[in-house]
């Protein structure tokens, strides 16, 4: 009896799908095939309708489910899976169905992400976004969920402006195709609010996070009530309103503990402990730090694990400084240093993934445009052959168009090279900035340990070794210098060879000074990078002026600017 009812309901949907159009039609047809593959009666009726009355998009969807989906299920995650999806994308683009192209791109991205090929996953997501943007109605085919997935990836890359842009679009184009309306609204508004929070736009962040809390409260979702309340507490914490922050964090932790939201428990405990430190309520600090440590260990794979550990030991170091426990102060400082290094490595990896994905997308997109232009050029050449026999004037017009087209292609290639150059410039500046920040952190802890050494009569061997390690890392290491040169040569390939040829008496240290000058690094930053005094930098600059036979320091800048 139930089977008959089910077949009857499916039959009604099959008979009505032809009355639909656009995304509703594609979505319904995909759903009908996906839910009834084992029901031969339904699939037979569906195939007959598609064959008799279906359009090219209907037939492409039928082809995917009958011919390709069984193959995908058997292939698991082998390279052939991506070949199949590429075929489906090409077929969708050939009939100008950008919605289906976006669908196959987002599926490809999910599969790449499962294989941890994150750069290829991001590249596929960018193609999905490009396909969605071609919706003639300007509504991105109402695919809020796909936009949210892509926005969330930009959030991981710390590109908060792009995150806000995409997540806001997702919030305005409807909830029809999202997994769950209320759930989607919570996660998407929270994503926007947290992006504003990361950008220190606190009023906007408060507005969106309060919306998240309101949506969660209407359905009594204590998970998201806890997350949104704690995030609102973070706004007050960052703005110095510690009394309000303590109130919100306390409430948020009750909900997050009950539901086992461990990354938020760790983060909120750290910030709440810091609030108590800042309000001189020291007795409440240590239990929260211990809870943070336990919670963070329960979910080591979460994206905020390293940031939580850095915050934990930063607050702990200040706590033990109040307690005058020198041994634990140094232990916490070491932990901060360790997790900061891991965090920097992770950040470098994510930025590399983002750069590789964007570069692959832009390169392939440019190749497609160039290929399209070449095809146009070929067609125009054939047309020209016909016209030249009829009218000489047509040859002149075509020749002009051909020159302009080649000029446009050359400009596009030049633009790609300029993008690559700008990316390399940004990479070397980011690397240099990272080294400066690292050395500033090291100098800070070196000064603290030296101060601690003066307070403590007996300075243990372990503490001495830590101090020596810090001093040894204050300078730019050989490995750092090798990486710096590789990055620098990407942007200025002839710089080092020019000065070695023109001024062979220059030492490596002096050439390094010239490279830093080319990047507009100040003498103070140079001293920090090289681990030397300001006086040493002045001496180095004086020797260079003598060897270059110039009188004014500004002439050094002019000399490197011309290379």
Tell me how far apart the alpha carbons of residues 161 and 140 are, in angstroms, rounded to a whole number.
19
**Yes or no: is domain 221-323 CATH 1.25.40.10?**
yes
pLDDT in tens, 214-226: 999 999 999 999 9
C-alpha neighbours within 13 Å on the C-beta side of residue 399 = 6
The whole-number pLDDT of residue 388 equals 59
Task: Tell if the pTM clears 0.75, that is, is over it.
Answer: no
DSSP SS3 for 325: coil
Tell me how far apart the alpha carbons of residues 490 and 485 are, in angstroms, rounded to a whole number.
9
Between the alpha carbon of residue 546 and those of residues 258, 501, 514, 550, the distances in Å are: 71, 17, 14, 6
Best CA proximity match to 522, nearest among 433, 397, 417:
433
The domains of the chain are located at 221-323
- How does 391-421 read in b/e, with b if 16+ C-beta sit within 10 Å? eeeeeeebeeeeeeeeeebeeeeeebeeeee
Tell me how far apart the alpha carbons of residues 160 and 192 are, in angstroms, rounded to a whole number.
9
The whole-number pLDDT of residue 3 equals 33
DSSP SS3 for 352: helix
The whole-number pLDDT of residue 188 equals 95
The whole-number pLDDT of residue 551 equals 82
DSSP assigned state of 492? -
Q: How many other CB atoms sit within 10 Å of the CB of residue 251?
A: 17
The whole-number pLDDT of residue 491 equals 81
The whole-number pLDDT of residue 435 equals 62
- Where helices occur in 117-221 by DSSP H, the ranges are 118-132, 144-156, 160-172, 181-198, 202-218
**Could you say which residues of the chain have pLDDT below 50?**
1-6, 8-9, 370-372, 457-459, 466-475
The whole-number pLDDT of residue 407 equals 75
Which H or E element spans position 481? helix 478-491
Tell me how far apart the alpha carbons of residues 433 and 483 are, in angstroms, rounded to a whole number.
14
């Amino acid at each position: 009896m139930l089977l008959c009812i089910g077949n009857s309901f499916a039959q009604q949907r099959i008979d009505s799908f032809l009355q639909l159009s656009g995304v509703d039609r594609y979505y319904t047809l995909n759903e009908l095939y996906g839910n009834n593959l084992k029901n031969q009666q339904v699939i037979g009726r569906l195939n007959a309708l598609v064959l008799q009355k279906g359009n090219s998009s209907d037939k492409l969807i039928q082809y995917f489910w009958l011919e390709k989906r069984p193959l995908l299920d058997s292939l698991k995650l082998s390279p052939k899976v991506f070949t199949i999806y590429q075929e489906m994308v090409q077929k969708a683009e050939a009939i100008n169905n950008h919605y289906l192209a976006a669908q196959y791109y987002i599926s490809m991205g999910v599969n790449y992400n499962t294989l941890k090929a994150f750069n290829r996953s991001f590249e596929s997501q960018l193609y999905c976004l490009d396909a969605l943007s071609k919706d003639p109605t300007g509504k991105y085919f109402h695919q809020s969920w796909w936009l949210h997935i892509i926005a969330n990836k930009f959030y991981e890359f710390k590109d908060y402006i792009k995150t806000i842009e995409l997540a806001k679009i997702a919030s305005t184009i409807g909830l029809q195709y999202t997994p769950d309306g209320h759930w989607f609204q919570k996660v998407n508004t929270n994503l926007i609010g947290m992006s504003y929070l990361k950008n220190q736009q606190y009023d906007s962040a408060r507005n969106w996070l309060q919306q998240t809390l309101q949506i969660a409260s209407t359905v009594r979702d204590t998970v998201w009530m806890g997350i949104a309340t704690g995030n609102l507490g973070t706004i007050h914490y960052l703005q110095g309103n510690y009394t309000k922050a303590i109130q919100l964090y306390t409430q948020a932790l009750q909900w997050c503990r009950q539901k086992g939201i461990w990354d938020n428990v760790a983060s909120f405990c750290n910030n709440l402990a810091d609030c108590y430190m800042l309000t001189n309520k020291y007795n409440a600090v240590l239990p929260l730090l211990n809870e943070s440590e336990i919670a963070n260990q329960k979910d080591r794979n979460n994206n905020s694990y390293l940031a939580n550990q850095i915050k934990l030991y930063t607050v702990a170091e200040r706590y033990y400084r109040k307690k005058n426990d020198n041994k634990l102060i140094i232990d916490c400082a070491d932990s901060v240093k360790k997790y900061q290094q891991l965090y920097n490595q992770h950040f470098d990896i994510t930025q590399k993934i983002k750069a590789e994905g964007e570069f692959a997308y832009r390169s392939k997109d440019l190749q497609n445009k160039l290929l399209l232009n070449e095809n146009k050029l070929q067609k125009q050449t054939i047309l020209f052959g016909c016209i030249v026999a009829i009218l000489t004037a047509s040859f002149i017009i075509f020749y002009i168009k051909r020159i302009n087209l080649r000029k446009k292609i050359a400009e596009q290639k030049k633009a790609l090279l300029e993008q690559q150059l700008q990316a390399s410039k940004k990479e070397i500046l980011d690397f240099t900035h990272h080294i400066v920040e690292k050395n500033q952190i090291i100098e800070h802890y070196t000064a603290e340990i030296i101060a601690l050494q003066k307070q403590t009569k007996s300075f243990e061997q372990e503490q001495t070794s830590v101090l020596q390690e810090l001093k040894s890392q204050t300078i730019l290491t050989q490995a750092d210098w090798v990486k710096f040169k590789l990055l620098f040569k990407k942007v200025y390939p002839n710089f080092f060879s020019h000065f070695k040829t023109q001024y062979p008496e220059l030492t490596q240290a002096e050439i390094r000074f010239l490279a830093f000058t080319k990047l507009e690094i100040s003498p103070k930053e140079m001293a920090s990078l090289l681990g030397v005094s300001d006086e040493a930098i002045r001496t180095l600059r004086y020797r260079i002026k003598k060897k270059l036979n110039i009188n004014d320091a500004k002439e050094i800048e002019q000399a490197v600017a011309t290379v």
